[in-house]
Structure 1
Amino acid sequence: MSDSFSLEKLAQNIVANGPHRAEPTPRRVRGLLNGKYAFDTIEAYHVWEHPYYPQFYVPVGSFTSDASLTKLSSVKGTKEQAHFASLSVGSKSAEHVVIFNTPQLKDLVRIPFNELDQWFEEDVPIYQHPKDPYKRIDILKSSRHVKVAIDGVTLAESSSPLFLLETSLRPRHYLPPTHVKWEYLSKSDTETYCPYKGKANYYHVNVNGKAYQDLVWYYTYPTAESAPIAGHLCFYNEKVDVWIDGVKEGK
């Protein structure tokens, strides 16, 4: 499915049914493109296009004199309530931009997160997508015994795990690096970004002649709010066997 087709479907759905949720945010939101700020606003909206996390939509009037926002064709089936647009600063452009003109999203612009050089929330760089203002993370020290295994082979055991509790997600267990059996791990080139925890790196697991890709992740330099998990390793609960104080966890 092409990006343009996906964007068309997204715009059509938002115009027909509205977003899952939309509300103004008091946070200052800025977007950097080609070395200059394309917009700078304290009137952005958090818009949930799906139930999981929001995106920032920014007002048409928030674009700087360095930026050129050009309305293009109307999105088919939206009765002129959504238009494709282009955003450029100098020689660099962001594609797949949409300007909405619905009662709920009047004159708000959706810009793909990865098509700007950097987004800022106040003076803090943000990655991947904005944080959900209704979600929080708790990181709790525990003395419960955690055992992790796969295909009958124990990968890690610890009685000093960190339990990471994130709103609407299952608990994760971060184990000290000295409590992991490193002979089963090999480094992965995969990197992902979490707005709550920072940049994650991964390990593959190799057991009984089978390779399990990106089964373990860790944060070398997590965000300040998640600092306690630095260097700890977390195994995908859904893909391994986990026992908490001898009781097997469901997948």
Structure 2
Amino acid sequence: MSDLAELASKLFHANKESQVKIAGTEKRVRGILNGKYIFDTTAAKLVWENGFYPNYWIPRSDFLDTASFAQDKPVSGIDSSTSTLTVDNKSVPSLIVPDSFNTELAGYVKIDFKALDAWYEEQSEVVFHPKDPWHRVDVLPSGRHVKVEIDGVVVADTGSEGGVLSLWETRFPARWYLPRTAIKWEYLTPSDTHTGCPYKGQASYYNAVINGKEIKDVAWWYPNPIQESASIIGALCFYPTKVNTFVDGKAIEK
């Protein structure tokens, strides 16, 4: 069974009694495949398939003529709901929920987020995955004194200069972003690792070398954060599980 068919089975067969979180949005949502817009809708659904973040499901009726489905109107059964969406010479798998299904997703199409060239909310590109409308990030200037140690070696210390930014994100503990002037750069080397967050942007990383031992990806930073988190540009945040962090002299939990 394909990944999309397995997802459909999970949502509409095995878990008929479960409460999968679904929310509508009036935002204009568009998608591009093979350089062409394939849908344009203000009736998309946000579906929390994995419980952590939502994915977009798009009304079949809002797909444009640029896109064609190998199985346009599946009649019954999960397997016949899977289809191939094609734009010119490029195809991606998709899932069409039959109209006969007793679910508010009947008539909706699921496409893997990474399968498209780009997704847009209004005129803003959606990066990494759609945002949760009940998830927020607050970045606040802080007067806290933050010191970071690895095996007893101080690798960052804001001292009396301050410049700390505290980042408060739904379901996460506070993160402390430190100015680059507080970093002991002799201990850090650039990492090749990059990760993404739709609320902050793409992160780059640093490794640390302490007493001849390398600790991978010990700190991250955002070279070009998105607008809502713009103030953390350039600041470093250390993984609390890989270092000892002291805020106003008190060790924070790992």
TM-score (norm 1): 0.91
Question: Residue by residue, what CA displacement relative to the aligned partner does 1:101-123 show, whole Å, maximum 9, x if unpaired?
Answer: 34131111111111100110111
Corresponding residue to 2:11 among 10, 14, 32: 14
**Identity over aligned residues, as a percent?**
44
In structure 2, the residue matched to 1:32 is 32
- 1:1-251 alignment runs, 5 A limit: 5-15=2-12, 16-17=14-15, 20-71=20-71, 79-80=77-78, 83-95=81-93, 97-101=94-98, 102=101, 103-158=103-158, 159-251=162-254
Partner Cα separation in structure 2 for residue 89 and residue 8 of structure 1: 21
User: Given residue 57 of structure 1, which amino acid in structure 2 is its aligned partner?
Assistant: W
- Structure 1: where are the runs of 5+ without partners? none
User: Given residue 85 of structure 2, which amino acid in structure 1 is its aligned partner?
Assistant: L
User: Given residue 170 of structure 2, which amino acid in structure 1 is its aligned partner?
Assistant: T
SS, match of residue 104 in structure 1: coil
Question: Residue by residue, what CA displacement relative to the aligned partner does 1:111-142 show, whole Å, maximum 9, x if unpaired?
Answer: 11111001101110111101100011110111
Partner Cα separation in structure 1 for residue 38 and residue 19 of structure 2: 25
Aligned length: 244
Partner Cα separation in structure 2 for residue 106 and residue 6 of structure 1: 19
SS, match of residue 237 in structure 1: coil
1:10: how far off?
Answer: 2.4
- Structure 2: where are the runs of 5+ without partners? none
SS, match of residue 71 in structure 2: strand
Whether the 8 Å CA contact 1:81–1:100 is kept in 2: the answer is: no
Between Structure 1 and Structure 2, the one with more strand by share is 1
Partner Cα separation in structure 1 for residue 117 and residue 188 of structure 2: 34
Whether the 8 Å CA contact 2:5–2:78 is kept in 1: the answer is: no
Query: Aligned Cα RMSD in Å?
Result: 2.0
- 1:181–1:162 distance in 2 versus 1, CA, 3 Å: same
Whether the 8 Å CA contact 1:119–1:126 is kept in 2: the answer is: yes
Question: Residue by residue, what CA displacement relative to the aligned partner does 1:54-96 show, whole Å, maximum 9, x if unpaired?
Answer: 0111011111111112238x8xxx944872111111111223x
- 1:19–1:210 distance in 2 versus 1, CA, 3 Å: farther
Question: Residue by residue, what CA displacement relative to the aligned partner does 1:146-201 show, whole Å, maximum 9, x if unpaired?
Answer: 11112221111113310000011111110001101111111112222211111111
Whether the 8 Å CA contact 2:180–2:234 is kept in 1: the answer is: yes
User: Given residue 163 of structure 1, which amino acid in structure 2 is its aligned partner?
Assistant: S
